Amino acid sequence: MAWPVAMPFRTGPVSLSPVIEAEFSGAQLRELARWLGVTPKGNSRVGLVEQVVAALSERIARVAESPDALLEGLNEEQQDFARRLLTARDHEVPIARSTAADLWAQPTERLSDYRLDADRRLTELIESLRRRALLFPTRAPFPVGSRDVYYQWLPLNGARAPVMCWPVHAEATARETESRAVPMANFLEHFEAFLNAVARSGVALRAPLTLHKQAARLIWLRDWEHDADEAERVLHSRPNWAPDPHTGISVPMLSPLTAESSATLENQTGLTAPQIEFLFAIACALQLIEAPDPGARATQAGDGALRVRTCNSAIEEWLVLADPHKLRRAWTAWSEQIMAGLEVRSAMNDLKPEQRFCVMRAIGARHLTPGLLAAEWCALRRYVVRVLRGLPLDRWIQWDELRTKLYEFHPECVWTFATKTDWWFAFAASGARVNLKRPDEWRVTAGAILEHIIRDSLAWFGAIEARLTPAGRLDAFRITPVGEWLIEGRQDALPDAAAPKSRAVEPIEWLDERTLRLPPAPNRAALVGVVRQCAERGDAPFTYIFTAASIERALSAGLSFADVAAQFKRAKAPLSRTVGDQFKLIARRHGRVRVYQSLTVLELADDFAAKELAAGTSLMKHVVYQLSPRAFVMHEEGLDALIEELQAKGYTPRVK
């Protein structure tokens, strides 16, 4: 079993040559070539396409070093328009024309009398980017049921796109004396403490909500956790008629942990409950915690909670990673994979009762799945990261001012893949839909979520240093060197502030002649890989048992005794004499003698009996090899039950 992750957001690879060939006429190709600084050679259309693609590829390569290279040759208005689109959306995600219109219009123009002129200017801007092969028409990322027109950026091959620069005051104000700075967090230290606590005592998951009796039959309930009473009300919202497809049902935003388990982990780690949930969500996305078996809940007693622990094999792989790789993988899990709307739930719980909101989904939006809604939360996190790229480094940014600018820029930033007819926010008290284009309603929903992404998640990564008001609200923040390293996707050395305190590496030791305890460490990755090939996993963490069968399996896979001995020598840990001698013995016989362990030979009285029992009992499930028509090599496990089964049919097998 594996934990679910958010639906991938990236589009498939785009080949420039066929796109350019299909989108541009000969005259347009020559104009594009001149804009790219290419002198067309010859009259061949194919040759001209190749020259244009080569020039575009060269520009994409320069974008990897300097994002602004993408916008070279555009006028100021075109550059501003492109930056707005690239800040609001991942460049790998198609963008709708209606979204582009909202991003380009000024707040006072959204309902102005100049809609026709604004639309004409928007068309000119889009076409100017299309003529330069920066935008291409495409399809909606998902079957959203909308008739909007979508555009896709040219493939940047993982390069960072240019984003908006935010002209905000970046200096401390008089309020600094009234606020308090939050100590910078070290993510890797906290994550290790959390994993150790889960490894020691496990974690209890809350019991799932009771399903509606028709959940298996109704597609809008089948894959979603839901309130059964609310589902019943929706089902009968129109007597004698099917419910309206536009009817909303709430998405429960509940903690995955029991209160007792959360409190236990808080006591063991010293972290807060929201931070525990944050680390738990990342660990699940990285598959470091065992995923629960849905059928196992039925066997639980009491409140139905299910206890899970860390996954030993995944933890071992995690521990051999270097610190930069660990932090980058956790960052990727948070921004691309986590299913939980962590910051949404925190924002909901942090408001006054009359301001609290809930997440609603339309029961008729069949394309909307839990994975797609999770992708929306991940996209919102990446949006904040792109905003931070346009802010000055290591200087205090006033949150109130930045929040106002974010509202003016893109109030409906929460919809990246689906639309506001698929899911929306509603006030919990009245049930009324939240209108994100109203400043007051935006501030307590989308604005509050953005604040929690910065104040909580980014602070827990050590990416920002936060300063809070006496009431605990975000007053100001500044991007740290760790934040720059994460946000810019740098591959150089990890900043000192992100490195965990050095810990003594546990020694390699032999618990007996065949059982090795091999605690993971970054410099032991090769040794761990070799040991896994030639030994069985033990019951205790980080233990491996060398058996004749495991050694032969390693030899069959091409691993030699010299390879194993060399790895142990590099790790300055001697190979036990017993294992070494057995490895050499089996290696000499390999290919001539098959080695089995815990096997038994079962012989039947005659050929007819063997055929009858092979067809009418579980005999063949235990067979490793058939020596003759009446003799079988058997696995020892389960043999007693098989003997009883044979005797019940009137046979008395002889076991050697």
pLDDT digits (tens, 9 = 90+) for 249-292: 999 999 999 999 998 899 888 899 999 999 999 999 999 999 98
For residue 442, which amino acid is it? W
In the chain, which stretches have pLDDT less than 50? 107-114, 174, 177, 297-302, 593
Among 488, 569, 466, 496, smallest CA distance to 526 is for 569
Count the residues in the chain: 656
Is 462:278 a contact under the CB 8 Å cutoff? no
DSSP type of residue 306:
E
Q: Give the dihedral sign, CA 86/90/93/98.
A: negative
> How far lies 195's CA from each of 280, 320, 339, in Å?
9, 15, 19
Q: How far apart are CA 471 and CA 271, in angstroms?
A: 20
Q: How far apart are CA 411 and CA 404, in angstroms?
A: 10
Tokens 């390879």 map to which residue? Answer: 563
Which structure tokens are listed for 601? 């030979």
Helices and strands (DSSP H and E) totals, the chain = 26, 20
Strand, helix or coil for residue 607? helix
Q: How far apart are CA 622 and CA 639, in angstroms?
A: 8
Residue 372 pLDDT: 95
Is 497:480 a contact under the CB 8 Å cutoff? yes
The pairing of beta strand 623-628 with beta strand 631-635: antiparallel
Among 13, 7, 19, 250, smallest CA distance to 142 is for 7
Among 419, 438, 577, 583, smallest CA distance to 510 is for 577
485 — phi, psi (to 5°)? -60, -40
Among 102, 110, 99, 105, smallest CA distance to 141 is for 99
Residue 256 pLDDT: 94
Q: How far apart are CA 169 and CA 173, in angstroms?
A: 9
Is 137:149 a contact under the CB 8 Å cutoff? yes
Please calculate the CA angle 278-279-282 and round it to the nearest 5 degrees: 90
Q: Please list the helix, strand and coil fractions of the chain in percent, rounded to the nearest 5, in that order.
A: 45, 10, 40
Among 374, 295, 308, smallest CA distance to 340 is for 374
